[in-house]
Amino acid sequence: MLEIIRVRKLWKGEQIVDEDSKKSNMSRRKFIRNSSYAAGGLIGGGIIGSLIGTNYFNDTEQPSTRSSKESNFNRALMFFTRQSDFQILSAATERIYPKDDQGPGAIELGVPYFIDHELAGAYGHNEREYMKGPFLEGTEYQGYQTPLKRHAVFMTGIRALESESKSAYDASFVDLEGEQQDKILKKFENDDVKLHKVSSAYFFEMLRSATISGTYADPLYGGNADMDAWKMKNFPGSQMTYLNKIGSEKFIDIKPKSLNDHIS
Amino acid sequence: MAKKLDKVEAVTVGVGWAGGIIAAELAKAGVKVVGLERGNDRSTEDFQMVHDEYRYAIRYELMQDLSKETITFRNKPGEKALPMRQFGAFLIGTGVGGAGAHWNGDTWFFSPYDFEIKTMTDKKYGKNKLPKEYTLQDWGITYKELAPYYHQFERMAGTSGELNPLRPERTEKYPTPPMKDTPILKSYMDAANRLGLHPFRQPSANISEVYKNPDGETLNQCQYCGFCEKFGCEYGAKSSPNVTVVPTALKTGNFDLRTHANVTGIIHDGNKATGVRYVDTQTGEEFDQPADIVVLTSYTLNNTRLLLQSELGRPYDPKTGTGVIGKNYCYQITAVATGFFKDRFNAAMGAGALGTTLDDYNNDNFDHSDLDFIHGGSITMKQLGKRPINENGAPSGTPRWGKEFKKESIKWFNRSIPVTSQGASMPHKNNYLSLDPTYKDAYGNPLLRMTYDFTEQDHALYDYITARCADILEEMGAEVVEPKELTDHFDIVPAQNDHITGGVIMGADPETSALNNYLQMWDVDNVFVIGASAFAHNGGYNPTGTVGALAYRAAEGILKYRKNKGQLVKRETSNKLV
């Protein structure tokens, strides 16, 4: 019970800053305890196996400056089964919304996790869209018709990004230079890549819109970490009232609020 | 087998503005009414988590579940219609309150010209102003006859606004004063005045001050939080059926609201309806609800589909021009130009109907003698409250993704705003609604098929009005002004406008219209069909005010019918089609 309360508290925006070091220690202890447990039974395979050699164990004495990240249990995979697919997706979203001198890009904002989580749910499974056949090709005004659900379109597209990369540069998409990645993404955008039962342009549009959604959606969905995307855009998020501000001649820079602020 | 329920006096199919108004007016008069709503119940309390652009504006939380039913679409007869698999061009609401829960709140009344458009156009411009393929006709009612019902709707809704200098026929003030002024709207008003135009603060259902309506319901003051369109109001400050007519109806004890009740057909015995059949969407059970009076109060599309599916009324045939159900399907022509300004303004602050409008290019307020279109559109700048997922506009030539995209879309977020028009849409013989021969809904019934394309009239109107939108932005001193182009043909994908009308139109002649001016079916005395489906064309304003007025008029008609039975309006049949 105690554990749950502490974790909940850590998710509460501003309190985190004050309790930064405390929290870091706690989550680190918890992580080690959990991993020892897992390691006892499963070392050599699965998650723990794949973590060896990564930097997960190298941050022992370095309290992070970005407080919410370390305890962000939300950042794990719900839909993708291969981390390699997820990394290709991540690299692609970062080209669509890159880190620059204004602030973080898609990866730092958590957009790839947003997309992974959305693909596991109603969005990925087109639960509220008409998916009955027959699926026929129409005119350019009738909307795209594909029997593939979004999760399948993403998988098809991501694997194709990788195979295009291998055939053009003999390297994985994630290892390419940014401009090379852009060239491949443009081929998809221009519909120059042939995919099974879906057009590459349709996949690209979906990738683009999902990236923008994850960037700017309320942080409750796993992207827009620390509301940083809103801060870059000077968007105040979820404010209860502008009644006394809307008449202002001057632009008012307001510290953003998220839906988390409205949970009582 | 469907379970047969006890008979009631009246049943409404759908509980949005139309269903709510009918329920309130009938229940207050002592009539037992059942309201069948396919979606779930909603109140202000349901909107505590509503400031969520992704959930409501991207994933369309308040809209129809398309996995259950959608429409099929084609541009012209002869093409194979295909399903609208996800939302795009327009949205369709669902749930208690319907579109009245998620609307922006623009509360307009159509012009005298709209109701007598055929007569007035012929008189001023001659009989051939539009080619004969345009099935233009009068509405069977005049503005003067409908005006009292407009005011009744506004008093119930608490509408905020000020008088329009170009609509002198109206002298009655709005129930509440106009909304707050803002610097960008003031700049629009000043620019329009310098151009010799006649701007005014538009009528709004985002209420400017606390208001108690004649039914005793209280509306709160708008907080300008910027979440109206596609959202519900967490303050109860936007007039919606949920905070007005639905509670009014429930208080009487005469209104039985049933949610998750999806009506699949009107049961009838010849030319008399005997009730409706519905499915409980949660259990799949079927029910027959017998009723003396059946009132269709769902969205434009479903009003039409239910009649076609139930084989009630005469389906329209574009080849012969005969029949009426499905006829005169119209849209709204959304002319738009965007201005990009040097200085930032508080773009995130706003309200759905916080705007300044001018009518100089609407109705027949300007001379069309040398123009190849009739009518026009209201031209408005609205400060809606910008949201970051949907608003990534930048001057054209900016890439759609990558470094430049990020930089430019961030730069312009608080520096750009559109001027838009609700352009009128004239009926054309090939724009119509019918049943699809191939695709079915979740209950095995045929989907509605929409056959629609932009006409030459639409293109001419669009280009002319868009140029006027751009004129004002230039006068305002925008750095960049970008008029948007209309696609060659209507495209079901990009978001355009939710104001779709026609299919079950009103008129004076049973040969060319489905309803009389009480919205009673000419062919079936005890069926009333209320909604924008009754519009004989779409005017140059948002439609809800007119839907509300027609609903109050229909409510009066239903109460009359209850006493006297039979047709409420004398037929004016033309000889040509008998």
Inter-chain touch A242–B346, beta carbons under 8 Å: yes
Higher pLDDT, A24 or B560: B560
* B85 with A95: Cβ contact below 8 A: no
Mean pLDDT of B19-31: 98
Please judge whether B59 and A237 are an interchain contact, meaning their C-beta atoms are less than 8 angstroms apart.
Answer: no
User: CB of B472 within 8 A of CB of B191?
Assistant: yes
Q: How confident is the model at residue B192 (pLDDT cuts 50, 70, 90)?
A: very high
Chain B nearest-CA distance from A116, in A, is: 16
User: B80–A136: do the CB atoms touch at under 8 Å?
Assistant: yes
Does any domain span residue B574?
no
Q: pTM for the whole thing?
A: 0.91
Q: Does B54 touch chain A (CB under 8 A)?
A: yes
Is B467's Cβ below 8 Å from some Cβ in A? no
One DSSP character per residue, B233-271 reads -TTS-B--GGGTHHHHHHHTT-EEEE-SEEEEEEEEETT
- Closest chain B residue by Cα to residue A105: B406
- Chain A positions touching B48 (Cβ under 8 A) are 262
Find the largest Cα–Cα distance for chain B.
71
pLDDT at B59 over 70: yes
Residue type, A203: F
Whether A249 sits inside 8 A of B83 (CB atoms) is no
Q: What is the pLDDT of residue A72?
A: 83
In terms of Cβ atoms closer than 10 Å to its own Cβ (0-12, 13-18, 19+), residue B459 is middle
A230 and B388 in contact by Cβ < 8 A? Answer: yes
Q: Which residues of A touch B439 (CB under 8 A)?
A: 132
Tokens representing B46? 């349901």
B93 Cβ neighbours under 8 A, 6+ residues apart? B16, B62, B63, B64, B99, B100, B101, B102, B299
More confident residue, B108 or A45: B108
- Across the A:B interface, residue pairs with CB atoms under 8 Å apart total 174
Interface of B with A in 510-569 (CB under 8 A): none
Please give the average per-residue pLDDT across A171-183, as a whole number: 98
Query: What is the distance in angstroms between the Cα of B359 and the nearest Cα belonging to chain A?
Result: 25
Task: Flag whether pLDDT at A28 surpasses 80.
Answer: no
Tell me the average pLDDT across B110-118.
Answer: 98
Q: What ipTM goes with this model?
A: 0.96
Given phi > 0 = left and psi -120 to 50 = alpha, else beta, which region is B347?
alpha
Domain membership of residue B160 (yes or no) is: yes
Residue in chain B nearest A217 by alpha carbon:
B54
Q: Taking CB atoms and an 8 Å limit, are A95 and B402 in contact across chains?
A: yes
Band of residue A70 on the pLDDT scale cut at 50, 70, 90:
low
Alpha-carbon dihedral B298, B300, B304, B310, rounded to 10 degrees: -10
The yes-or-no verdict on residue A42 having pLDDT over 70 is no
Positive or negative torsion for Cα A152, A155, A159, A165: positive
Inspect the interface and report whether the beta carbons of B223 and A243 lie closer than 8 Å. Answer: yes
**Number of domains into which chain B is organized:** 1
In one-letter notation, the amino acid at residue A164 is: E
Contact of B210 with chain A, judged by CB distance below 8 Å, is answered with no
Segment B307-321 shows an average pLDDT of: 97
CATH label of the domain that carries residue B149: 3.50.50.60
Residues of B with catalytic function: 499
Tokens of B496: 């355009």
Is residue B508 within 8 A of residue B423, CB to CB? The reply is no
pLDDT at B164 over 60: yes
Contacts of B59 (CB under 8 A, 6+ apart): A122, A123, A128
Our separate counts of H helices and E strands in chain A read 12, 0
Nearest to B67 among A102, A129, A252 (CB): A129
| 3-state SS class at B194 | helix
Give how far B346 is from chain A: nearest CA, Å. Answer: 6
In the stretch 470-499 of chain B, residues with CB closer than 8 A to chain A read: 487, 489-493
Confidence band, pLDDT 50/70/90 cuts, at residue B1: confident
* Ranges of each domain in chain A: 73-234
Contact assignment for B493 to A144 by CB distance below 8 Å: yes
Q: Which residue has the higher pLDDT, A50 or B495?
A: B495
Q: Output the CA angle A252-B106-B540, nearest 5 degrees.
A: 120
**pLDDT beyond 70 at B384:** yes
- Give me the domain span that covers residue B146: 3-564
Mean pLDDT score across all residues of chain B: 97
Q: Do B67 and A126 touch (CB under 8 A)?
A: yes
Vertex A245: Cα angle to A239 and A248 (nearest 5): 145
- B residues 379-418 lying closer than 8 A (beta carbon) to A: 383, 386-389, 392, 400-403, 405-407, 410, 413-414
Question: In chain A, whose CA is at the least distance from the CA of B185?
Answer: A247
Residue B270 has a pLDDT of: 85
Contact yes or no for B348 and A127 at CB 8 A: no
Q: For A32-36, A98-102, A233-237, which range has the lowest pLDDT when averaged over its residues?
A: A32-36
In a domain, B576, yes or no: no
Q: Has residue A39 got a pLDDT over 70?
A: no
Nearest CA in chain B to A143: B493
In a domain, B573, yes or no: no
Q: Which of A96, A247, A251 sits opposite B344 (nearest CB)?
A: A251
**Domain contains B571:** no
Q: What is the pLDDT of residue A23?
A: 40
pLDDT at B135 over 50: yes
Tell me which of B186, B401, B410, B417 to substitute to probe the interface with A (most A C-beta atoms closer than 10 Å).
Answer: B401
- Quote the tokens at residue A179: 């401009």
pLDDT digits (tens, 9 = 90+) for A71-97: 789 999 999 999 999 999 999 999 999
Of B52, B74, B413, which is closest to A218 when you measure between CB atoms? B52
Rounded mean pLDDT, B533-550: 98
Contacts of A239 in chain B (CB under 8 A): 51, 225-226, 348
Is B513 within the bounds of a domain? yes
Report residue A122: phi and psi, to 5°.
Answer: -55, -40
Q: Is the pLDDT of residue A1 over 60?
A: no
CB B100 within 8 A of CB B544: yes
Q: Does residue B404 register a pLDDT over 90?
A: yes
Task: Kindly report, residue by residue over B204-254, the tens digit of the pLDDT.
Answer: 999 999 999 999 999 999 999 999 999 999 999 999 999 999 999 999 999
State the Cα–Cα distance between residues A227 and A255, nearest whole angstrom. Answer: 10
Interface check for B304 against chain A (CB to CB < 8 A): the answer is no
Average pLDDT (A233-262) is 97
Q: Contacts of residue A234 in chain B, CB cutoff 8 Å?
A: 344, 413-414
Band of the pLDDT at A243, cuts 50, 70, 90? very high
Q: Is B320 on the interface with A (CB under 8 A)?
A: no
- Quote the pLDDT of residue B345: 98
Averaged pLDDT score across all residues of chain A? 81
**Cβ within 8 Å of residue B290, ≥6 positions away:** B4, B5, B6, B7, B8, B267, B274, B275
- pLDDT class for A59, splitting at 50, 70, 90? very low
Q: pLDDT for B326-373, tens place per residue?
A: 999 999 999 999 999 999 999 999 999 999 999 999 999 999 999 999
Considering only the beta carbons, identify the residue of A96, A212, A248 that sits closest to B402: A96
Q: Which residues of B touch A220 (CB under 8 A)?
A: 52
Contact B401 A208 (CB under 8 A): yes
Give the nearest partner residue to A132 out of B383, B439, B487, using CB atoms: B439
Q: Quote the pLDDT of residue B415.
A: 98
Give the best residue of B66, B85, B436, B496 to mutate against chain A (max A CB count within 10 A): B85
Does the structure show a pLDDT above 70 at A51?
Answer: no
Residue B102 tokens, joined:
């998620």
Q: Is the pLDDT of residue A24 over 60?
A: no
pLDDT of residue B451: 98
Question: Beta-carbon neighbour count of residue A44 at 10 Å?
Answer: 8
- Burial (CB count within 10 angstroms: exposed 0-12, middle 13-18, buried 19+), residue B128: exposed
pLDDT at A65: 46
Average pLDDT estimate for B447-471: 98
